[in-house]
């Protein structure tokens, strides 16, 4: 890396470490990961005793390639995004994720004070993050970090995460056409359930990996 890249990486690293410190203070098991590979290796290690692994639809997780590694280890993969599934089959997979051994997800936003903020259309992802699975691992790239509070996190989601996700899923929403949130009432609207996790849920083994890389939206 050149000087500019090194300084930029260092700046991101300090913010990642601040978020890790805050998450630890809020009761989460947390780790700073310098690379996506480090995060992927951590997930595979933590999955050693898991028989069933649920995937919450995170593009951050998809980009790390852990599904294939876990499948090769003989894990039962619960991924409702598989294109071969019917609508009813997808719903059954979503319900199965609620009681899986390990649930993997990204986070739409993470404040430097250690708050995880997410917005769902169905609610299956945020439900599985909070209670049900024996272990939850959330991966947050540095692009998910928010300097401000909850309001800033929600704005980050609606301005930077929702439009590309709606377009990716081929939903008929204004943001999928324009790239901007209009707080729509579209039947396809995916901003329907907002979750704020400001402390580790009491009965959930909850891990958060903060990665010094751009991951997901």
51-to-48, 76, 104, 131 alpha-carbon distances in Å: 8, 6, 14, 18
- Is residue 208 helix, strand or coil? strand
Question: What is the C-alpha to C-alpha distance for residues 213 and 205, in angstroms, rounded to an integer?
Answer: 25
pLDDT tens digits along 114-159: 999 999 999 999 999 999 999 999 999 999 999 999 999 999 999 9
pLDDT tens digits along 20-72: 999 999 999 999 999 999 999 999 999 999 999 999 999 999 999 999 999 99
Question: What is the C-alpha to C-alpha distance for residues 137 and 139, in angstroms, rounded to an integer?
Answer: 7
Domains by residue range for the chain, with CATH: 3-113+120-211 (3.40.50.10420)
pLDDT tens digits along 83-120: 999 999 999 999 999 999 999 999 999 999 999 999 99
The whole-model pTM stands at 0.96
Nearest partner of 121 among 57, 178, 204, 206, judged by Cα: 57
Buried b (16+ CB within 10 A) or exposed e, 192-207: eeebebeebeeebebb
């Amino acid at each position: 890396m050149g000087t500019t890249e090194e300084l930029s990486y260092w700046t991101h690293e300090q913010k990642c470490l601040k978020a890790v410190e805050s998450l630890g203070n809020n009761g989460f098991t947390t780790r700073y990961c310098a690379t996506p590979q480090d995060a992927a290796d951590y997930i595979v290690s933590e999955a050693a005793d898991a028989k069933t692994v649920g995937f919450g639809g995170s593009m951050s997780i998809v980009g790390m390639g852990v599904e294939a590694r876990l499948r090769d280890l003989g894990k039962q993969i619960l991924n409702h995004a598989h294109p071969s599934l019917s609508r009813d089959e997808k719903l059954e997979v979503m319900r199965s994720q609620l009681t899986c051994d390990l649930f993997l997800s990204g986070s739409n936003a993470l404040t430097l004070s250690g708050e995880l903020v997410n917005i769902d259309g169905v609610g299956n992802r945020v439900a599985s993050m909070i209670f049900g699975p024996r272990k939850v691992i959330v991966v947050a790239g540095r692009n998910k970090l928010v300097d401000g509070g909850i309001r800033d996190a929600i704005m980050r989601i609606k301005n930077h995460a929702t439009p590309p996700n709606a377009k990716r899923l081929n939903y008929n929403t204004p943001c999928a056409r324009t790239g901007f949130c209009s707080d729509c009432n579209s039947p396809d609207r995916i901003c329907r359930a907002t979750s704020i996790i400001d402390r580790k849920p009491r009965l959930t083994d909850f891990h958060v990996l903060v990665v010094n890389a751009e991951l997901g939206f």
